[in-house]
């Protein structure tokens, strides 16, 4: 009972003018799915809640069961080879889901492959996020106590510092991607002490993405919105570099190559960035 009171019972929670008396994990699950926010969109990547049964010393939570679904860890190690393009599809869903959860005020705090279900469709794999037992509400103030898997805790915890919700989520997304890229284990305490070299089996874009998510300084990590925009930002930078190189060749060589392709690419990607600044986020 004391365990339940400490970690699960949420008595008379006031949220947006409504009072809730519910198990914290259930409340967070419903909130993350977009069911408790006025005017919010449903978050289909959060596992569906079917029912709850309150017993004397425990609470049974009944969730939907999806056919042909495994957790993210089993999905990785039961498939001999996952193309990088497919990994991108999975992690775009993860980032999108995390961003929407944070907008709804839910901090999962224990992102790892075991907490993600992957539905093995013939086409695009679909994810579902489960287990909000270590979760909390997103706060503007830093957290001091960490509830979650120590191996995936952000470096701030090991340095005895406070931590923020978004920077922690970004770190844990990076940790999951690291496992997908290396098919090995990940432990924050080990990662902090190693010279982390470039991974040879993935693209430079992926290496750059990893290095940003796994920045030891939380202030150097991108936001979740930055992660969604990462491909656009990278392509825009690459296009600008192509144009710069073309101009240099134009100045110092007599017969420079045509810049049409670079200019076109840059314009298209800049338009994508502009649409984002107008609050329209498009996922390629």
Q: Report the CATH number that the domain containing residue 138 is assigned in CATH.
A: 1.10.510.10
C-alpha–C-alpha distance, residues 97 and 127, integer Å: 9
Residues 219 and 81 in one domain: yes
* Count of domains for the chain: 3
Residues 39 and 86 in one domain: no
Find out whether 157 and 147 touch, Cβ atoms under 8 Å.
no
Q: What is the pLDDT of residue 21?
A: 54
Q: What is the pLDDT of residue 43?
A: 87
Residues 37 and 76 in one domain: no
Residue matched to tokens 């699960």:
8
Find residue 70's DSSP bridge partners: 118
Domain boundary among 42, 63, 84: 63
Find out whether 127 and 93 touch, Cβ atoms under 8 Å.
yes
Q: What is the pLDDT of residue 81?
A: 77
Residues 80 and 132 in one domain: yes
- Residue 262 inside a domain? The answer is yes
Residues 57 and 73 in one domain: no
Residues 99 and 192 in one domain: yes
- Residue 173 inside a domain? The answer is yes
Residues 59 and 77 in one domain: no
- Residue 270 inside a domain? The answer is yes
Residues 73 and 211 in one domain: yes
Burial (0-12, 13-18, 19+ Cβ within 10 Å), 190: exposed
C-alpha–C-alpha distance, residues 146 and 136, integer Å: 10
- Residue 27 inside a domain? The answer is yes
Residues 91 and 161 in one domain: yes
Ordered per-residue pLDDT tens for the chain, 284 residues: 333 333 444 444 544 455 455 688 999 999 999 887 665 678 889 999 888 888 888 888 898 888 889 999 898 888 767 888 888 899 999 999 999 999 999 999 999 999 999 987 767 889 999 999 999 999 999 999 999 999 999 999 999 999 999 999 999 999 999 999 998 999 999 999 988 778 888 888 889 999 999 999 999 999 999 998 876 444 333 433 444 454 445 445 544 444 433 333 333 333 333 333 333 333 33
Range of the domain at 216: 69-226
- Residue 283 inside a domain? The answer is no
Dihedral over Cα of 145, 148, 149, 151: its sign: negative
Q: At what angle do helices 84-103 and 224-252 cross, to 10 degrees?
A: 130
Find out whether 72 and 134 touch, Cβ atoms under 8 Å.
no
- Residue 284 inside a domain? The answer is no
pTM: 0.74
Domain boundary among 205, 226, 247: 226
Residues 76 and 201 in one domain: yes
- Residue 211 inside a domain? The answer is yes
Residues 59 and 178 in one domain: no
Domain boundary among 63, 87, 107: 63
Please report, for the chain, how many H helices and E strands are present, in that order.
10, 9
C-alpha–C-alpha distance, residues 124 and 127, integer Å: 10
Residue matched to tokens 């110092």:
252
Residues 212 and 268 in one domain: no
Which of 210, 205, 225 minimizes the C-alpha distance to 180? 210
- Residue 282 inside a domain? The answer is no
């Amino acid at each position: 009972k004391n365990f339940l009171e400490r970690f699960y019972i949420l008595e008379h929670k006031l949220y947006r003018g409504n009072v809730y008396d519910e198990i914290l994990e259930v409340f967070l699950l419903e909130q993350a799915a977009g069911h408790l926010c006025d005017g919010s969109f449903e978050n289909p990547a959060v596992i569906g809640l079917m029912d709850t049964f309150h017993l004397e010393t425990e609470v049974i939570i009944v969730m939907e069961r999806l056919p042909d679904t495994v957790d993210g860890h089993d999905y990785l190690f039961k498939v001999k080879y996952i193309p990088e393009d497919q990994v991108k599809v999975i992690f775009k869903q993860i980032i999108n889901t995390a961003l929407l959860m944070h907008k709804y005020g839910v901090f999962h705090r224990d992102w790892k492959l075991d907490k993600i279900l992957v539905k093995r469709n013939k086409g695009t794999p679909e994810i579902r996020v489960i287990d909000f037992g270590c979760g909390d509400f997103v706060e503007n103030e830093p957290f001091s106590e960490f509830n979650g898997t120590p191996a995936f805790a952000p470096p701030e915890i090991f340095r005895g510092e406070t931590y923020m919700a978004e920077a922690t989520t970004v770190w844990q997304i990076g940790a999951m991607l690291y496992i997908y890229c290396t098919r090995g284990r990940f432990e924050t305490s080990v990662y902090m002490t190693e010279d982390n070299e470039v991974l040879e089996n993935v693209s430079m874009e992926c290496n750059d993405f990893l290095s940003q998510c796994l920045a030891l300084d939380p202030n150097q990590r991108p936001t979740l919105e930055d992660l969604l925009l990462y491909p656009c930002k990278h392509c825009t930078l690459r296009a600008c570099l192509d144009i710069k190189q073309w101009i240099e060749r134009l100045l110092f060589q007599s017969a420079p190559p045509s810049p049409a392709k670079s200019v076109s690419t840059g314009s298209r990607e800049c338009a994508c960035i502009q649409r984002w600044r107008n609050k329209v986020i498009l996922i390629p």
